Amino acid sequence: MGQTITSETTALAARVTTLAEAAFATADGLRRRAEDLFTGGRPASADLAVLRPWVTEALGGLINGAGVITVPLADGRPGLEWWMGSPAQRSRLTLDLDPASDTFVDVGRQPWYSVPRDTGRRHVTGPYVDYVCAEQYALTFTVPVTDHGTFAGIAGADVFVGDFERALRPALRAVGTPVALVNTHGRVVAGSTAHHLAGSLIRDAHIRTALLTALPAVLPGGVRLTPCGTLPLAVLTWP
Report the DSSP beta bridge partners of residue 237: 179, 224
Peptide bond into 78 cis (omega under 30): no
pLDDT for 202: 96
Average pLDDT, the chain: 93
**CA 170 vs CA 3, 45, 217, 232: distances in Å:** 19, 44, 24, 22
Domains of the chain: 18-161 (3.30.450.20)
Question: pLDDT tens digit string along 187-200?
Answer: 999 999 999 999 99
Q: Is the dihedral of CA 210, 215, 216, 218 positive or negative?
A: negative
Residue length of the chain? 239
What are the backbone angles phi and psi of residue 196, rounded to the nearest 5°? -130, 65
HEC secondary structure over 14-60: HHHHHHHHHHHHHHHHHHHHHHHCCCCCCCCHHHHHHHHHHHHHHCE
CA distance linking residue 12 with residue 178, whole number of Å: 13
Judged against a pLDDT cut of 80, whether residue 148 lies above it is answered with yes
Judged against a pLDDT cut of 70, whether residue 170 lies above it is answered with yes
- Low-confidence winner among 14-23, 117-126, 128-137 (lowest mean pLDDT): 128-137
Give the distance, in angstroms, between the CA of residue 139 and the centroid of all CA atoms in the same chain.
Answer: 4
Cβ contacts of residue 75 below 8 Å, gap of 6+?
44, 45, 46
* Amino acid at the residue 238: W
CA angle 128, 200, 194 (to 5 degrees): 130
Q: Which long-range contacts (CB under 8 A, 24 or more apart) does 195-199 make?
A: 198/127, 198/137, 198/161, 198/162, 198/165, 199/127, 199/129, 199/137, 199/161
Question: pLDDT tens digit string along 88-110?
Answer: 889 999 988 888 889 998 999 99
Percent of the chain with pLDDT over 90: 85
- Answer for the pair 107, 77: CB distance below 8 angstroms, yes or no: no
CA distance linking residue 85 with residue 94, whole number of Å: 14
Question: The pTM is what?
Answer: 0.92
Judged against a pLDDT cut of 90, whether residue 132 lies above it is answered with no
